Amino acid sequence: MGAAYFYHLTRAPLEHTLPVLLGKARGAGWRVAVRGVEAARMAYLDDRLWHGPETDFMAHGLAGGSHDADQPILLTTSELGNDPACLMAVDGAPVSPDEVRKMERVCILFDGNDPEAVQVARGQWKHLTSEGCSAQYWSEAAGHWEKKAESN
């Protein structure tokens, strides 16, 4: 049974934090799906991953291609076409309790400088924990990541 990890981004934007978390997930040997809500945003993140430093390159693909099932990291707005062990939800993308239970880890990344994004994340926390999912809340407000809350 997995857990949902909430990442409250206040210092570094998503485009900087996402590659770090993807690297950790891949280092654990996990296939990853990154779920967003807008195709244009996912295309932007895809572009950022392609144009990052060569030493940090991670093989990935944007959903809709003929090799979705083979991608170690798949960026999508819908179904998880690569049988991931880890789901990273961005921009308020939905996550179900069943997905948390099925995955090794679900990461919910949200912009702490956007009051609407914070409200969506709070709603996700309440929903997932009320359904019995384990969750952790991580904040970078102090300049480094700290676990601020946990629900088992």
Provide the whole-model pTM.
0.94
The whole-angstrom separation of Cα 57 and Cα 68 is: 18
- CA nearest to 90, candidates 50, 131, 49, 56: 49
Closest CA to 4 of 119, 112, 93, 117: 93
Per-residue pLDDT 10s for the chain (152 aa) are 799 999 999 999 999 999 999 999 999 999 999 999 999 999 999 998 888 777 677 889 899 888 999 999 999 998 888 999 999 999 999 999 999 999 999 999 999 999 999 999 999 999 999 999 999 999 998 888 999 999 98
pLDDT at 27: 94
Bridge partners of 151? 135
